[in-house]
Amino acid sequence: MKFETQVVHVGDRKRQAGTPTPSTTPIHLSTTYFHDSTTALDRIFGHEEEGLSYGRYRNPTNDALEDLTTAMEGGYGSLACASGMAALQIAFQAALLDRPHTILSAHSIYGATMKLLDNVLSPFDIKIVYVDICDLDAVKKAIDTHKPGCVFLESASNPTLRVGRIDKIAELTRAAGASLMVDSTFSTPMLIKPLQLGANMVVHSATKYLAGHGDVLGGIVISDQEHHETVRMLSRIAGPVLGPFESYLTMRGIKTLALRFARQCENAQKIACWLKTHPAVERVFYCADPQHPDAEAIKTQFTPGLYGAILSFEIKDLDKPKVMEFIDRLRLIVPGTSLGDVHSLMLYPVVASHRDVAPKMRERMGIRENLVRLATGIEAFEDIQADLDQALRAI
Ligand SMILES: Cc1ncc(COP(=O)(O)O)c(C=O)c1O
Give the tens place of pLDDT for each residue, 89-104: 999 999 999 999 999 9
Q: What is the pLDDT of residue 61?
A: 98
Q: Is 107 left (phi over 0), alpha (psi -120 to 50) or beta?
A: alpha
pLDDT of 17 over the 90 cut? no
Q: What is the pLDDT of residue 233?
A: 97
Task: Express as a percent the part of the chain with pLDDT over 90.
Answer: 91
Average pLDDT, the chain: 96
Residue 85 CA, ligand 1 centroid: distance in Å: 6
- Do the Cβ atoms of 22 and 57 come closer than 8 Å? no
Whether 316 sits among the annotated catalytic residues: the reply is no
Task: Express as a percent the part of the chain with pLDDT over 70.
Answer: 100
CA 330 to chain centre: 26
Length of the chain: 395
Q: At what angle do helices 320-328 and 381-394 cross, to 10 degrees?
A: 140
Q: Which atom of ligand 1 is nearest to the CA of 87?
A: 11
Residue 211 CA, ligand 1 centroid: distance in Å: 13
Taking the whole predicted model, whether its pTM rises above 0.75 is answered as: yes
Q: How confident is the model at residue 357 (pLDDT cuts 50, 70, 90)?
A: confident
- Type of residue found at 59: N
Q: Which of 58, 63, 67, 110 is catalytic?
A: 110
**DSSP bridge pairs for 80:** 220
Residue 332 gets which letter from DSSP?
Answer: S
Digit-coded pLDDT (tens) for 196-242: 999 999 999 999 999 999 999 999 999 999 999 999 999 999 999 99
Q: How confident is the model at residue 365 (pLDDT cuts 50, 70, 90)?
A: confident
Distance CA 100, CA 149 (A): 5
Instruction: Characterize 75-94 residue by residue with b for buried, 16 or more Cβ atoms within 10 angstroms of its Cβ, and e for exposed.
Output: bebbbbbbbbbbbbbbbbbb
Q: What is the pLDDT of residue 201?
A: 98
- Do the Cβ atoms of 388 and 333 come closer than 8 Å? yes
Q: Which residue spans within 66-137 are E strands per DSSP?
A: 77-81, 102-106, 127-131
293 to each of 115, 250, 310, how far by Cα in Å?
27, 34, 16
Distance CA 186, CA 309 (A): 8
pLDDT of 8 over the 90 cut? yes
The residues lining ligand 1, judged by C-beta closer than 6 Å to any ligand atom, are 83-85, 110, 112-113, 154, 158, 183, 185-186, 205, 207, 217, 219
Q: Is the link from the previous residue into 304 a cis peptide, with omega within 30 of 0?
A: no
**For atom 7 of ligand 1, which residue has the closest CA?**
84
Residue 340 CA, ligand 1 centroid: distance in Å: 11
Q: Which atom of ligand 1 is nearest to the CA of 353?
A: 14
Digit-coded pLDDT (tens) for 111-149: 999 999 999 999 999 999 999 999 999 999 999 999 999
Whether 208 sits among the annotated catalytic residues: the reply is yes
Q: Which of 63, 67, 130, 183 is catalytic?
A: 183
Whether 135 sits among the annotated catalytic residues: the reply is no
Other Cβ atoms within 10 Å of 354 Cβ, number: 24
135 to each of 57, 85, 173, 196, 339, how far by Cα in Å?
41, 26, 14, 21, 27
Q: Which atom of ligand 1 is nearest to the CA of 217?
A: 10
**For atom 8 of ligand 1, which residue has the closest CA?**
84
Least confident of 81-90, 135-144, 257-266, 358-367: 358-367
Q: How confident is the model at residue 2 (pLDDT cuts 50, 70, 90)?
A: very high
Q: What is the pLDDT of residue 353?
A: 87
Mean pLDDT of all residues in 282-292: 96
Q: Which atom of ligand 1 is nearest to the CA of 206?
A: 10
- Do the Cβ atoms of 128 and 122 come closer than 8 Å? yes
pLDDT of 172 over the 90 cut? yes
Q: What is the pLDDT of residue 219?
A: 98
Mean pLDDT of all residues in 271-279: 97
Distance CA 48, CA 40 (A): 10
Q: What is the pLDDT of residue 47?
A: 87
Q: How confident is the model at residue 173 (pLDDT cuts 50, 70, 90)?
A: very high
Q: Which of 33, 43, 54, 56 is catalytic?
A: 56
Distance CA 302, CA 297 (A): 8
Q: What is the pLDDT of residue 236?
A: 96
pLDDT of 356 over the 90 cut? no
Q: How confident is the model at residue 361 (pLDDT cuts 50, 70, 90)?
A: confident
Residue 208 CA, ligand 1 centroid: distance in Å: 8
Q: How confident is the model at residue 16 (pLDDT cuts 50, 70, 90)?
A: confident
Closest to 366 (Cα-Cα) out of 383, 349, 381, 380: 349
Whether 183 sits among the annotated catalytic residues: the reply is yes
Distance CA 218, CA 234 (A): 18
Distance CA 32, CA 80 (A): 18
